[in-house]
Copies of this chain bind each other. A is one copy, B any other.
Amino acid sequence: MKRFVPLLLLAASTSAVAQVDRTVPPPPGPEPSVDFPTIERRALSNGLPVYIVERPGVPLVTVRLVVNAGSAAEPGTQPGLASLTADMLDEGTTRRTAPQIADELEFLGANLGTGASYDASFVVLNTLSRNLRPALDIFADVVTNPAFAAPELERVRNQRLAALLQQQDQPVVLANQEFASRIFGTAHPYGRPLEGTPAAIRAFRPEALRTFHTTYYRPGNASLVVVGDVSAAEVMNTLQAALGSWSGGAATQVRYPAAPRPHAATRIYLIDKPGSAQSEIRIGHLGVARNHPDHYPLLVMNSILGGQFSSRINLNLREDKGYTYGARSGFAQRREAGPFTAQAGVQTQSTRESVIEFMRELQEIREGRPATQQEVEFAKASLVRAEPLRLETNNQVASRIEDIILYGLPLDYYDTYTQRVQAVTPADVARVARQYLTPDRFAIVVVGDRSRVEAGLRQLPYPVQLVTTTTAR
């Protein structure tokens, strides 16, 4: 089975290469219009915006609270505050203990999750639509009345510390963290780990979580998304009853630091992982924000470059050279510009050669071998046809609406998905490749067995800097 997971926020797509015969493509059915369901926008009496999608049929409903503050709202000295606050929401409220919350949800057959990303925090409820009312009562309690009790914080803290300990010698984790910190620096929230650091996690007191919650979890700084087997008119009464008395106006807008400066020249950062059978490689620099007007040309360009199994990068490093089981690239698109990353785990003995091939592909799509008309048409067809498979569940639809809310996209954004993809031309792709890929300013992070990879890397025309992380052992 081919395990190819498209990178980050970018949707999967496809591309063409020489060895694939496209003279007899399979005949697909007529082009689908992506029937993204209509989004109705309402509001509760306290101002909380509500986005409703009616999906009759399966008797389920998803409710997602989107709070406009994630880890980027943390003080730089408190990494992990947003995700720890989210973790603690269902660990007890002023009305229910943690076991009571779990117990009541289970009695209803419902489930509830919480979490935080860089840009947002969220609480999501999945339930039978016929049990929405009692399930929403628990959801509202968790959102508005978390207790942040010290004993529960201790347990969650210990669990988080154990998880960080388990991660700290995983090459994939080391590579991702080092890469993020090299692109953004630790003064920028995108350069710090979402889950926090052991020192910060150890230091948190309940007051810090309570302050984060009070500051940002409020109807004036949040939105509610409801997707499923509900009627918009009827569900508003239920929502109003559960959350209408929640109070709080707009929060101070989260201020993001200025974008980091690019590297003056491409550099290699090497982390030694003795005995490693593979090297984890990350190559890239700053990309663009999610609401950037070049989103769709970048989507198509990256599909061809490294966004799908049959991308240039994957077919080169995997199919042609056999260095890796999968190589890919993508733009992580957030409120502010996230990273562009090309990445793979490669065989140790092919580390140097893999960097060379990555750099070749990143250069050639800019000049020398720009995307062809055929590649562009293929990527567009794939993007349009795969879209309905990514909207099968209520949760998937709710996540898309979260993007609309967080990134200020128009409410009919997905209705125009097909035409936005189809409008991309080969000239657009060539332009964004030249504009947004800058191979002489990359950070290249390699986590691998130094004794076997350093000499090869030093033959490349980039300075090599040995990096010691406290966790790299």
Residues of A within 8 A of B (CB): 1-2, 4, 12-14, 16-17, 19-22, 25-30, 32, 35, 57-60, 86-87, 89-91, 97-100, 102-104, 106-115, 126-128, 130-131, 133-135, 137-138, 151, 154-155, 158-159, 162, 165-166, 277-278, 308-310, 315, 318-319, 322, 325, 345, 347, 378, 381-389, 391-394
Contacts and interface: CB of A to CB of B under 8 A. Distances in A.
B1 A386 contact: no
A14 B106 CA distance: 6
Contact of A30 (B2, B115, B130, B134): B130
A105 B127 CA distance: 34
A310 to B, nearest CB: 4
Contact of A28 (B60, B134, B162): B134
Contacts of A4: 102
Contact of A130 (B29, B100, B104, B111): B29
B99 A389 contact: no
Contacts of A112: 2
Question: Top 3 closest A-B pairs, CB basis?
Answer: A109-B385, A14-B106, A29-B130
A3 to B, nearest CB: 9
A109 B386 contact: yes
Given A20-B100, A90-B1, A103-B14, A26 B128 contact: no
17 contacts: A1-B86, A1-B113, A17-B99, A19-B97, A21-B100, A28-B134, A58-B392, A59-B388, A98-B319, A107-B382, A107-B385, A108-B385, A110-B385, A151-B322, A162-B278, A392-B392, A393-B393
Nearest to A163: B325
A107 B28 contact: yes
A102 B319 CA distance: 11
Given A109-B385, A128-B389, 8 more contacts: A28-B130, A29-B131, A57-B57, A102-B309, A110-B385, A128-B385, A155-B318, A155-B322
Contact of A107 (B35, B98, B137, B378): B378
Given A29-B131, A128-B388, A388-B59, A309 B106 contact: yes
Contacts of A166: 277
Nearest to A126: B389
A104 B1 contact: no
Contacts of A138: 26
Contacts of A391: 58
Contacts of A394: 392
Nearest to A379: B106
A291 to B, nearest CB: 25
A86 B3 CA distance: 13
Contacts of A108: 26, 28, 382, 385
Residue of A1, A104, A112, A381 with most chain B CB atoms under a 10 A cut-off: A1
Given A1-B86, A14-B106, A26 B134 contact: yes
Contacts of A98: 2, 319
Given A1-B113, A134-B26, A385-B109, A59 B87 contact: no
Contacts of A154: 322
A11 to B, nearest CB: 10
A155 B91 CA distance: 46
A87 to B, nearest CB: 6
A14 B107 contact: yes
Residue of A2, A14, A27, A322 with most chain B CB atoms under a 10 A cut-off: A2
A166 B278 CA distance: 10
A90 B319 CA distance: 13
A12 B107 CA distance: 11
A99 B19 contact: yes
B99 A315 contact: yes
A127 to B, nearest CB: 8
Residue of A113, A128, A393 with most chain B CB atoms under a 10 A cut-off: A128
A357 to B, nearest CB: 16
Nearest to A137: B26
Contacts of A22: 103
Residue of A22, A28, A60, A388 with most chain B CB atoms under a 10 A cut-off: A28
Nearest to A88: B1
A392 B60 CA distance: 8
A442 to B, nearest CB: 26
